[in-house]
Amino acid sequence: MTPSTVAYQVMWNRLISVVEEQAQALVRTAFSTSVREAGDLSAGVYDVAGRMLAQAVTGTPGHVNAMADAVPHFIRRIGRDNIRAGDVYITNDPWEGTGHLHDITVVTPSFHAGSLVGFFACTAHIVDIGGRGFGADAASVYEEGLYIPIMKLVDQGRVDDTLIRIIRGNVREPDQLVGDIHALATCNEIGHRRLVDMMGEFKLSNLAGIADFILENSRRATLECIAALPRAKASGEMTIDGYDRPVTLKVQLDIQADRILCGFNGTSPPDKKGINVPMVYTKAYACYALKCAIAPDIPNNAASLAPFVITAPENTIVNALHPAPVALRHVIGHMIPDTVFAALDKILPNTVPAEGAGCLCNFQVSLRPRHDQAAPKEAIRAEVLTFNSGGSGARPTLDGMNATAFPSGVMTMPIEATEHTGPVIIWRKELRRDSGGGGKYRGGLGQYMEVGAQDGYEFDFQAMFDRVDHPARGRDGGHNGAPTRIARSDGTAMKGKGKQFVPHGQRVMLAFPGGAGYGDPATRARGDVRRDLALGYISANAAMAVYGLTADEVAEVQNAVKQGEVV
Amino acid sequence: MGKPSLQMGVDIGGTFTDVVIEVGPKQFSSKVLTTYSAPEDAIIQGMQEVCDQAGIAISDITQIIHGTTLATNALIERRGARTALITTQGFRDVIEMRTESRFEQYDLNLILPEPLLPRQHRYVVRERISAAGEVLIALDRDDVERLIDEICVAGFDSIAVGLIHSYLNGAHEQMVREVIGARMPAAMVSLSCEVSPQMREYERFNTVVANAYIKPLMKSYLGRLEGRLAQAGAKCPIFLMHSGGGIISLESAAEFPVRLVESGPAGGAVFAAHIAARYGLDKVLSFDMGGTTAKICLIKNQSPRTSRVFEVARAYRFRKGSGMPISIPVIDMVEIGAGGGSLAHVDTMRQIRVGPQSAGSEPGPACYGRGGQRPAVTDADLVLGKLDADNFAGGTIRLDAGCAVAALENALGDKLAMNAQEAAFGLAEVVDENMANAARVHAVENGEDLGEYTMIAFGGAAPLHAARLCEKLGVGRFLVPPGAGVGSAIGFLRAPFSFEANRSIYMRLSDFDAGAARHLMTELQGEATRFVRSCDAQADIVAHFKVYMRYTGQGWEIPVTLSEEQAKAPDAAIFHQLFETDYRALFGRVVSGMDVEITVWAVNATTLVPPVDRIALARPGVDVTSDQSRPVFDAALGQVVVSGISKRRALNTGNTVRGPAVITEDETTIILPTSCRAICQSDGCIDVQITKARP
């Protein structure tokens, strides 16, 4: 190794830090809660050929492969000859961006000393893009909101005012969206400035050398990880609720010497409603699952992702074609890792977790003054979106994580912040006892939420839940996690998906699903069962019925808790 | 005031307890090993040593200022009291559910940090305050009494109370305290509306729980310390350094011990700020590198930047999100796992990685010859010629270059086909780049360009790495002050009495209520001033006013400083203008047509520190030539260069040392690569210019 190799190592670290700065700038300047509180975003740097060199750790896996694919689409659509300094490009194309109209992707070419040296790209999930609003109810992508094809947002420093006017005229919160587009452009600009600094410092005129170094090292490391695996084939499947009929996901894995093939033959056809998944998003989550299990330490870039070959037949729910509705593509997309794990477990036992809650337990509340009686004079309308999580699946040697997002990488919002965005009241948000599937290792607990409105308001509740009829399945004798439950406080039943009216004075009572257990619960360490009982993770009934604690043992634990002892 | 003031600074660190005393212009210091079982023992010992050196009696000391890592360590090591939390029904698990996210996305076997209190020690009461601060469900006193009786049976020493939206209306929390006072008089109580009156329940609850958790321990320690010092003959008051960079009374510290977290590093920042003032520097990068971590802090206009929240006890490779958030006024700094003891390995990408695991003092880096097998930063520094094996730590530890070479070859060289020197170079470059990246990200987050900054380097390892860090950051000058090894304790002597009071109250500029704003600022000023006045009955107290603002709809606020006039006669148009100026500086552009809101109001009351005498800069004088030299690796040149050796105590004002050179002293070594030229200033600072910035 020569000092210049050390310099390349330094440059690689620097690029990773550059995209991290880029992502942080986006979090700090964004308006949508989904970006600023929940971190639903991504940022990356590319070489002139459009190959991704580094991607920010901040962000969510749904954007991984999608981002890697997006920049070549931009290069092709804009045309190489048409790429100029001072340009900024934009799209929310679900098929060439990151899977639904609610993700805006902005790409900025980076010029240094007069020539094009690379690109910066970033993506963010925005709260509203017009149309029916964020939800499952559309019958085609045309109903889901405004479509922005790949185009110039800024042409050599001149902002396209016509485009901005069209955007403003088509969305519910124009200031917020235009603010977010500003934030995306700013974030690429910050990345660009840092890159130019670095090139000056190391006296580079292009990124060819560092790109080769990054890609070659990543390719080799990924291939080493794959070569260490058994050559084997396996398949897995999982059935989930869907919109109004169940959806079955089927996956086939084929581990070869230098690549892993991952296909989705036999998967259900597209749904009539907006839970379909464009191929980019399927690739992202299938790839994410494989990387977690096989090559977790290798940074994401074009070379480390290339050996994972993801395919799906056209016109399946995981490769839905235009104009299928796709707004809630995450509901199905977040279930892909567990499906991949079902197959991988047959090849690599004791590696992957049992099934978890899977998709985020998100909902949107549209509040308005009550219509059946006089409402308060100063009453307003408001849209409130929240992200929440159920339990993750138990691991081969660890319990699942309570109320923690997996595979998604986003955060929840503080309820005190949520209650400042509109007249909503979150009455409850806490762990759900007995929801983690029993096992030698217990599934993570889901959570309870209760959602109401301030006096004088009624609301529409936009549900985006799965696992009502199909709870997470246990592995190796582990029990299933608890299913999703949703109802009104007066007992009226509600559906897991779609917009539903909630009259004045009523609350929505939610119980989010738990992760599944791993291994036979009878073999769980007694100390862990007693501890779970003391913590209230499990009830006395479950301690006896699922884990075989005696009534005396239960009484002993309960007594210890009263005395304030840690069990 | 007839008697001259004799101030003593005491810093309890993880390894050493430093004591510093100033007698007129003279400084005396001691370093003794921290005595964990009874930390006051080391203080008494160090105090005795320093007093002997200075030739004074303990009873002559007029003021003792103390900072300590004890609070931080109690949180990290979970050695707190039996503590219960009382919270709003429906929100028992806020401190356990955190942000519901994973701080490392690709680790299937991720282990989330345990909350400070297990679930069975978290109790709920039926009550609710709205986001407007109105009572939605009134708290029933009988309910509270029943709950306290239940808690009493379980026997807790300390109780935290954290209720939803209590930062807007603390009445329910106060009622809970009354009932505890009546039925469990021995229990200590902490209320979230007092400890951290800020929006965002996870941060606020965690902060009040942390305060309650360490309160009995810190109260008892501070009580014992007071007794022991009196016994030893001290007749002076004792004050505590807090995380925000000021000092508070012993009583306030015992009530809000969470404010003592990170008081040592805060002292370091104050130390750097004082040097900045002496040199008239408005933009300073404070760089404090010790055995385990490096702390980096921006100091503008001679005062360290402050923030309202930070994370303590990061459990997973210092990863953001793996610790617990504490929302208190704090000096804004980044701390990364990069110190002399940080260990290196080769990862799956054949990249060298350094830290955050540290060799600590046992077994220490491989070159200590105490059985350490893995190469640490100190090993690389030795092999690169930056350290002298025979004169490390004043000659107390003899370094073994053979062990360092073996460790570098085994862990790095053999895997990467490099010899020991190349491996050492790679290791040093990676740790320097890690620190440079942390500094860059921190600067960007604060909208600053480091090219305009001067670095002040202190802590045992900083002078070895400062020059290379400056080269990487494009910083053209760094200072190594005398006493760099006990910088934090010296900083305590420079800190003012101060206290920040703040409140989360939302106000849009389009709906600005000037009367309410004026009233709020006056109230906060009164509260902060009372705290400071309790420490010092006479001193002049000034107030600094700040509001945190953002565009309505954003999630991140930026701090906007107000003059007293602007705070006392609040005007929406002026607030708007101030916000946009700061926003543009941070993010390059403003967003037109958007409403702006204030989320947090803060007033910091502080005593005036005596004006610092500006130093007359020495002109470059005699070039010091040295008859001794050794080979040192110059990273920017990528080769070994013969470097002259000078002794720091032999340098006089104006003496100039040209790189490549090393300047040695007992506590540390200053490395001057070829790019550097150092001048010894009249106060003993080594003032280094980097003539050719960047490689």
pLDDT score, position A1: 38
Sheet containing B596-607: give its strands across: B498-508, B596-607, B541-551, B558-562
Q: What residues of chain B, 283 to 342, have a C-beta less than 8 Å from chain A?
A: none
Tell me which residue in B102, B433, B555 faces A404 most closely, judged by beta carbons: B102
Closest CA to A94 of A345, A317, A281, A351: A281
| Contact state of A428 with B90 under an 8 Å Cβ cutoff | yes
Is the pLDDT higher at B586 or at A96? A96
Same domain membership, residue B535 and residue B437: no
Q: What is the DSSP letter of A524?
A: S
Q: A419 lies in a domain? A: yes
| Contact state of B110 with A176 under an 8 Å Cβ cutoff | no
Cα–Cα distance measured from residue A70 to residue A98, given in angstroms and rounded to the nearest whole number:
8
Same domain membership, residue B447 and residue B327: yes
Q: B656 lies in a domain? A: no
Q: What does the pLDDT look like over B131-143, one tens digit per residue?
A: 999 999 999 999 9
β-sheet bridge partners, residue B326? B310
pLDDT at residue B317 is higher than 70: no
Query: In chain B, what residues touch A535 (CB-CB under 8 Å)?
Result: 118-120
Q: B225 lies in a domain? A: no
| Contact state of B434 with A6 under an 8 Å Cβ cutoff | no
Count other C-beta atoms under 10 Å from residue A103's C-beta.
27
Q: What is the mean pLDDT of residues B670-684?
A: 94
Domain count, chain A: 2
Question: Which CATH number belongs to the domain containing residue B512 in this structure?
Answer: 3.30.1490
Same domain membership, residue A360 and residue A213: no
Give the DSSP letter string of B164-190: TTTTT--HHHHHHHHHHHHH-TTSEEE
pLDDT score, position A471: 98
Cα–Cα distance measured from residue B662 to residue B672, given in angstroms and rounded to the nearest whole number:
6
Q: Which of B607, B641, B657 is the last residue of a domain?
A: B607
Same domain membership, residue B439 and residue B403: yes
Query: In chain A, what residues touch B425 (CB-CB under 8 Å)?
Result: 3, 6
What is the span of the domain harbouring residue A127? Answer: 3-219
Q: Does B637 touch chain A (CB under 8 A)?
A: no
Q: B316 lies in a domain? A: yes
Give the DSSP letter string of B297-315: EEEETTEE-EES-EEE---
Q: B667 lies in a domain? A: no
pLDDT band at B3 (very low <50, low <70, confident <90, very high): low
Could you list the pLDDT tens digit for every one of the 567 residues in chain A?
A: 343 677 888 888 889 888 988 888 888 888 877 787 777 888 999 999 999 999 887 777 877 677 888 999 999 999 999 999 999 999 999 999 999 999 999 999 999 999 999 999 999 988 889 998 888 899 999 999 999 999 999 999 999 999 999 999 999 888 889 989 989 998 999 899 889 988 987 889 999 999 999 999 999 999 999 999 999 999 999 999 999 899 999 999 999 999 999 999 999 999 999 999 999 999 999 999 999 999 998 888 999 999 999 999 999 999 999 999 999 999 999 999 999 999 999 999 999 999 999 999 999 999 999 988 887 788 788 888 899 999 999 999 999 999 999 999 888 989 998 998 889 999 999 999 999 999 999 999 999 999 999 999 999 999 999 999 999 999 999 999 999 999 999 999 999 999 999 999 999 999 999 999 999 999 999 999 999 999 999 999 999 999 999 999 999 999 999 998 888
| Contact state of B100 with A1 under an 8 Å Cβ cutoff | no
| Contact state of A297 with B348 under an 8 Å Cβ cutoff | yes
Tell me which residue in A9, A20, A221 faces B430 most closely, judged by beta carbons: A9
Comparing alpha-carbon positions, the chain A residue that sits nearest to B553 is: A31
Same domain membership, residue B431 and residue B381: yes
| Contact state of A30 with B555 under an 8 Å Cβ cutoff | yes
**Helices marked H in A372-519:** 415-418
Q: What is the mean pLDDT of residues B161-179?
A: 97
| Contact state of A57 with B105 under an 8 Å Cβ cutoff | yes
Q: B228 lies in a domain? A: no
Q: What does the pLDDT look like over B4-54, one tens digit per residue?
A: 688 999 998 766 788 999 888 888 988 887 787 888 999 999 999 999 999
Tell me which residue in B82, B417, B556 faces A28 most closely, judged by beta carbons: B556
Q: Which of B574, B607, B640 is the last residue of a domain?
A: B607
Q: Does B52 touch chain A (CB under 8 A)?
A: no
According to DSSP, the β-strands at A115-125 and A41-46 are antiparallel
Q: Which residue has the tokens 């429906």?
A: B90
Question: Which CATH number belongs to the domain containing residue B175 in this structure?
Answer: 3.40.50
Q: A254 lies in a domain? A: no
Same domain membership, residue B425 and residue B322: yes
Same domain membership, residue B127 and residue B27: no
Count other C-beta atoms under 10 Å from residue B452's C-beta.
11
Site from A4, A5, A6 to mutate, B interface, most B CB atoms within 10 angstroms: A6
pLDDT at residue B575 is higher than 70: yes
Q: Which of A204, A219, A234 is the last residue of a domain?
A: A219
Q: What average pLDDT does chain B have?
A: 90
Site from B88, B92, B112, B120 to mutate, A interface, most A CB atoms within 10 angstroms: B120
Same domain membership, residue B511 and residue B483: no
According to DSSP, the β-strands at B158-162 and B188-191 are parallel
pLDDT score, position B311: 85
Per-residue exposure over B218-238, b if at least 16 CB sit within 10 Å of its own CB, e if not: bbebbeebbebbeeeebebeb
Q: A374 lies in a domain? A: yes
Q: B686 lies in a domain? A: no
Domain count, chain B: 4
Q: Taken in order A52, A54, A56, A59, is the CA torsion positive or negative?
A: positive
Query: In chain A, what residues touch B554 (CB-CB under 8 Å)?
Result: 29-31, 36, 179
Same domain membership, residue B398 and residue B314: yes
| Contact state of A401 with B102 under an 8 Å Cβ cutoff | yes
Spatial contact of A274 and A132, defined as CB atoms under 8 Å apart: no
pLDDT score, position A522: 96
Q: What does the pLDDT look like over B218-243, one tens digit per residue?
A: 999 999 999 999 999 999 999 999 99
Query: In chain A, what residues touch B120 (CB-CB under 8 Å)?
Result: 534-536, 561, 564, 566-567
Distance from CA of A177 to the nearest CA of B (A): 11
Distance from CA of B588 to the nearest CA of A (A): 8
Q: How many CB pairs under 8 A join A and B?
A: 232
Q: Does B650 touch chain A (CB under 8 A)?
A: no
Q: Which of A167, A187, A219 is the last residue of a domain?
A: A219
Q: What is the DSSP letter of A441?
A: B
Same domain membership, residue B203 and residue B298: no
| Contact state of A9 with B202 under an 8 Å Cβ cutoff | no
Tell me which residue in B100, B109, B153 faces A412 most closely, judged by beta carbons: B100
| Rg of chain A over all Cα atoms, to the nearest angstrom | 25
| Contact state of B554 with A429 under an 8 Å Cβ cutoff | no
Tell me which residue in A12, A24, A420 faces B506 most closely, judged by beta carbons: A420
Q: A35 lies in a domain? A: yes
pLDDT score, position A104: 95
Q: What is the mean pLDDT of residues B502-524?
A: 92
Same domain membership, residue A520 and residue A374: yes
Closest CA to B289 of B272, B277, B301, B274: B272
Q: Is A467 left (phi over 0), alpha (psi -120 to 50) or beta?
A: left
Q: What is the mean pLDDT of residues B530-546?
A: 89
| Contact state of A412 with B433 under an 8 Å Cβ cutoff | no
Question: Which CATH number belongs to the domain containing residue B26 in this structure?
Answer: 3.30.420.40
Q: A188 lies in a domain? A: yes
Cα–Cα distance measured from residue A316 to residue B281, given in angstroms and rounded to the nearest whole number:
65
Hey, what amino acid is at A467? R
Same domain membership, residue B143 and residue B290: no
Site from A216, A429, A510 to mutate, B interface, most B CB atoms within 10 angstroms: A429
Q: B690 lies in a domain? A: no
Which range scores top for mean pLDDT: B93-97, B260-264, B331-335, B533-537? Answer: B93-97
Same domain membership, residue B598 and residue B553: yes
| Contact state of B99 with A431 under an 8 Å Cβ cutoff | no
Cα–Cα distance measured from residue A402 to residue A400, given in angstroms and rounded to the nearest whole number:
7
Query: In chain A, what residues touch B102 (CB-CB under 8 Å)?
Result: 401, 404-406, 409
Is the pLDDT higher at B557 or at B280? B280
Same domain membership, residue B507 and residue B544: yes
Distance from CA of B553 to the nearest CA of A (A): 5
Tell me which residue in A297, A414, A562 faces B153 most closely, judged by beta carbons: A562
| Contact state of B82 with A564 under an 8 Å Cβ cutoff | yes
How far is the first Cα of chain B from the last one, in angstroms, to the nearest whole number? 55
| Contact state of A403 with B97 under an 8 Å Cβ cutoff | yes
Q: Which of B577, B607, B637 is the last residue of a domain?
A: B607
Tell me which residue in B101, B554, B586 faces A405 most closely, judged by beta carbons: B101
Phi, psi dihedral angles at B394 (to 5 degrees)? 65, 25
Tell me which residue in A33, A200, A410 faces B555 most closely, judged by beta carbons: A33
pLDDT band at B2 (very low <50, low <70, confident <90, very high): very low
What is the span of the domain harbouring residue B583? Answer: 498-607
pLDDT score, position A495: 96
According to DSSP, the β-strands at B669-672 and B661-664 are antiparallel
| Contact state of A30 with B554 under an 8 Å Cβ cutoff | yes
pLDDT at residue B66 is higher than 80: yes
Q: B516 lies in a domain? A: yes
| Contact state of A201 with B93 under an 8 Å Cβ cutoff | no
Q: What is the distance, to the nearest Å, from the Cα of residue B41 to the centroid of all Cα atoms in its chain? A: 24
pTM of the model: 0.90
Give B592's contacts (C-beta < 8 A, 6+ positions apart): none
pLDDT at residue B603 is higher than 80: yes
Query: In chain B, what residues touch A417 (CB-CB under 8 Å)?
Result: 199-200, 555
Q: Which of A219, A235, A264 is the last residue of a domain?
A: A219
